[in-house]
Chain A
Amino acid sequence: MANSTLRWGLFYLVTLPLLGVSLLVAVGIGSTELPWETILRVLLARLLPEGWISTEGISNADAVIVWMIRLPRALVAALVGAGLALAGAIMQGLFRNPLAEPGLAGAGAGAVFGAVLAFVAGWSATTVITLPVCAIAGSLLSLLLVYAMATRAGITPVSTLLLAGIAVSSLLSAVSSLLISLNIMNWQVAQEIVFWMMGGLEARTWTHVWLCAPLVALGAVFALLHARELDLLQQGEDVAAAFGVDVESDKRMFIFLAALLTGASVAVAGSVAFVGLVAPHAVRMLLGPSSRTLLPASALGGATFLVLCDLLARVVHPPTELRLGVVTALVGGPMFIWLLLRRYREVSA
């Protein structure tokens, strides 16, 4: 017990400052040179009461770059990382499988479908929120389909849920591909779609922050409030029922939360792989499987991971940015293999 508390304490002692430093570095590094003093003064002038920090000598362009371009981007990275990691932790608990990831319930493919539809119909050029709203709508539509297909006589077996999720994901991915192929002659739209599908956080504004933050916060709060139920469901549905858990109702809720978190994340960042798989897996190996510990730690780990990946995407090949989904896959993939090998060695030992 003392050992796990110590681990828990060490984890937060390391990860919280790491997230803070990562966010600061993400705001500090960009495609134009800005002195650190200017960056700190802009941030503090905005966060503290007016007049406390002098903004003399700071140009409007510098203030705008820090506050309206870099900071929202860093915050969206943290929110998306947290959202995907939480969704992954929920799915891994629900399916009792550490290889489960947020897209299993079809929410990711649904969000991509909604976004692709917005692109080809020209809606993405109208307002900032149209694209993310279409993506969220797509993820919820997908969830409805998956749930409708997997439920019989009021019962939703997890295995059927998984199969329905795979089927709906495949269907929505095929329709998205059909939409792209029918519009490939409009190369600029096709290019936008392909880039979006690879994940990215360029041009993220405070609108994206305010769109994503409440949904991620809602998902996180509800998940944490029902952490006990998730733990019990991991022991099996019979065991959970024996402990008074309304199994079907809670499964619905967790699936909905995972879809909401995934939809909100994909809506503002496109397809970003491996965060939802690697973060909870790594945290589970460090801190154990208890959801009360796992969920907030996964959120923190996922947020830190994605902020760092976005930073890497921006600095590796300047001035071109690598696509965020490519970076998370290139970093997350080997990390995941390493985690699996380590787990295998522990089990073998």
Chain B
Amino acid sequence: MTGRAFTKAGRAPFTLLFATAVVLTLMALLTPTAGIVRATRQDVDGPPPFQRPSAQWPRTFNDLDGDAVVLSRPPRRVVSQFWSIDEFLYSLLPPEQIAGVSATAYLPGVSNVHDAVVRHRPVVSSDPERVVAANPELVLVSSSARADMTAVLRSTGIPVYRLSTTFTSLRQIADTILHVGYLTGADAQAERAHQQFLDTLEKARASRPPHIPPPRVLGLGGTFSYGRNTVFHDVVTTVGAINVAAEGGLVGYSAVSTEQILRWDPEWILLAAEQGKEEQVRSRVLNDPAIALTQAVRQGRVVVLDARVYMPMSPYTRRFLEALPSVLYGQ
């Protein structure tokens, strides 16, 4: 690298800076697409349906990274490092077996397992030292968990299993019930919970009275909505409603403008809020002059659901499947 080699480039520093800005901006704009492409391939098609292993132990499972994790017996102490995995575990295992949970589990406003964790006080699993001290026999991490965190735990000899937690359909949630159950040796509980989930799905499918046309529903999370390839879309269509965001061409969880909302003119707007913050959330929508012109606002159909019910991305999604028909059809 000599001074002469850069002389030509040095003659036009501003050109170079401008060209760099253009290239980097293009990279930035394309990179999320690459991420979405990866997510789409993995999550729209989804991970393949879970194959039940044999009833015998040891069992070998291949995680999301393709790493084989061999469990010689049902793990007696399990740690979760992600909020939705917390809920899978608590719906399948006795609380004493859950040695660690995500920090979100301790948030009463958003966690479906808060009461259980407060009673049993598992460690917060973001701290590797506490996880190691808890002597787990299995640690479940999410698809987006950082490699250095999992590497620390793996280097201590603890089996770490990366689960797909980017759900885009109810089938994936149902499958994950089985997956987590068979991983942790809770085979029977998993089959029961899985059947319960399917039964709730069936009931939700039959919930729309034939005389009521499909209601047009918009789900809002701040300035974001849920298009095709989201659990929200799957729930809404299962109960016989129309997801206006998907109808409007939205794919995945994406930002929406008030202009789009006005054009879609939903009959129902669904929001989520922690207890005590419902009016705050509702008024933010009602006070928007564009959204105020939609049918949903004019007809008083802006519904704020408890944040714990609104799309928990776990077996607790059943609560959303049960709540939505009562909201839309008065059941």
Report yes or no: A203 in contact with B152, Cβ–Cβ below 8 A.
yes
Report yes or no: B25 in contact with A122, Cβ–Cβ below 8 A.
no
Which residues on the B side are within 8 Å of A68 (C-beta)? 152, 155-156
B192 at the interface (CB under 8 A from A): no
**6 tightest CB-CB pairs across the interface, nearest first?**
A154-B3, A149-B13, A151-B10, A152-B10, A128-B151, A64-B156
User: CB within 8 Å of B: which of A183-210?
Assistant: 183, 185-186, 188-189, 192, 202-208
Report yes or no: B135 in contact with A32, Cβ–Cβ below 8 A.
no
A124 at the interface (CB under 8 A from B): yes
User: CB within 8 Å of B: which of A98-124?
Assistant: 113, 117, 120-122, 124
Which residues on the B side are within 8 Å of A207 (C-beta)? 148, 151
Report yes or no: A248 in contact with B3, Cβ–Cβ below 8 A.
yes
Min CB gap B33→A, angstroms: 9
Report yes or no: B6 in contact with A147, Cβ–Cβ below 8 A.
yes
Report yes or no: B147 in contact with A182, Cβ–Cβ below 8 A.
no
Selected contact of B20 from candidates A145, A147, A182, A192, CB within 8 Å:
A145
- Which secondary structure dominates chain A's binding surface? helix
Report yes or no: A120 in contact with B31, Cβ–Cβ below 8 A.
yes
Which residues on the B side are within 8 Å of A70 (C-beta)? 129
Report yes or no: A121 in contact with B133, Cβ–Cβ below 8 A.
no
Docked pose: A70 CA to B151 CA in angstroms = 15
B212 at the interface (CB under 8 A from A): no
Report yes or no: A204 in contact with B148, Cβ–Cβ below 8 A.
yes
A287 at the interface (CB under 8 A from B): no
Report yes or no: A31 in contact with B11, Cβ–Cβ below 8 A.
no
Which residues on the B side are within 8 Å of A18 (C-beta)? none
Which residues on the B side are within 8 Å of A127 (C-beta)? 147, 151
Selected contact of B148 from candidates A113, A148, A179, A205, CB within 8 Å:
A205
B55 at the interface (CB under 8 A from A): no
Report yes or no: B7 in contact with A152, Cβ–Cβ below 8 A.
yes
User: CB within 8 Å of A: which of B91-134?
Assistant: 124, 126-130, 132-133
Which residues on the B side are within 8 Å of A60 (C-beta)? 157
- Which secondary structure dominates chain B's binding surface? helix
Report yes or no: A155 in contact with B148, Cβ–Cβ below 8 A.
no
Which residues on the A side are within 8 Å of B148 (C-beta)? 128, 131, 203-205, 207-208
Report yes or no: A122 in contact with B13, Cβ–Cβ below 8 A.
no
User: CB within 8 Å of A: which of B11-59?
Assistant: 11, 13, 16-17, 20-21, 24-25, 27-29, 31-32, 34-35, 38
Report yes or no: B133 in contact with A32, Cβ–Cβ below 8 A.
yes
Given A171-B17, A203-B152: A69 touches B132 (CB 8 Å cut-off): yes
Given A70-B129, A204-B148: A120 touches B13 (CB 8 Å cut-off): no
Given A122-B38, A149-B16, A154-B4: A203 touches B146 (CB 8 Å cut-off): yes
Which residues on the A side are within 8 Å of B10 (C-beta)? 148-153
Binding site for A on B (CB under 8 A): 1-4, 6-7, 9-11, 13, 16-17, 20-21, 24-25, 27-29, 31-32, 34-35, 38, 65, 124, 126-130, 132-133, 135, 142-149, 151-152, 155-157, 224, 253-255
Docked pose: A179 CA to B65 CA in angstroms = 25
B158 to A, closest residue via Cβ: A64
Which residues on the B side are within 8 Å of A347 (C-beta)? none
A303 at the interface (CB under 8 A from B): no
Docked pose: A186 CA to B145 CA in angstroms = 13
Given A69-B132, A172-B24, A188-B142: A319 touches B35 (CB 8 Å cut-off): no
A53 at the interface (CB under 8 A from B): no
**Number of interface residues, chain A, beta carbon within 8 A:** 59
A252 at the interface (CB under 8 A from B): yes
Which residues on the A side are within 8 Å of B253 (C-beta)? 185-186
A168 at the interface (CB under 8 A from B): yes
* Contact bitstring A148-183, B, C-beta under 8 A = 1, else 0: 111111111000000010011001100100110011
Which residues on the B side are within 8 Å of A69 (C-beta)? 128-129, 132, 152, 156
Report yes or no: B128 in contact with A203, Cβ–Cβ below 8 A.
yes
Docked pose: A324 CA to B3 CA in angstroms = 38
Min CB gap B235→A, angstroms: 18
Which residues on the A side are within 8 Å of B149 (C-beta)? 202-203
Docked pose: A31 CA to B29 CA in angstroms = 41
Selected contact of A131 from candidates B6, B135, B146, CB within 8 Å:
B146
Given A30-B129, A183-B35: A319 touches B124 (CB 8 Å cut-off): yes
Which residues on the A side are within 8 Å of B29 (C-beta)? 178, 182
Report yes or no: B17 in contact with A61, Cβ–Cβ below 8 A.
no
Docked pose: A185 CA to B25 CA in angstroms = 19
Min CB gap B251→A, angstroms: 12
Report yes or no: A179 in contact with B152, Cβ–Cβ below 8 A.
no
Min CB gap A30→B, angstroms: 5
Given A128-B147, A171-B17, A205-B148: A151 touches B129 (CB 8 Å cut-off): no
Report yes or no: A205 in contact with B144, Cβ–Cβ below 8 A.
no
In the assembled complex, 15 residue pairs joining A and B whose CB atoms fall closer than 8 Å, in A order, are: A120-B31, A125-B146, A128-B148, A128-B151, A145-B20, A149-B16, A149-B17, A152-B13, A154-B4, A178-B29, A179-B28, A186-B253, A207-B151, A248-B3, A321-B127
Which residues on the A side are within 8 Å of B7 (C-beta)? 151-154
Given A31-B130, A205-B151: A182 touches B32 (CB 8 Å cut-off): yes
Min CB gap B230→A, angstroms: 11
A55 at the interface (CB under 8 A from B): no
Which residues on the A side are within 8 Å of B1 (C-beta)? 147, 252
Which residues on the A side are within 8 Å of B133 (C-beta)? 32, 61, 65
Given contacts A125-B146, A167-B17, A168-B20, 9 further A-B contacts (CB under 8 A): A121-B34, A121-B35, A147-B6, A151-B9, A164-B13, A202-B128, A204-B148, A205-B148, A206-B155
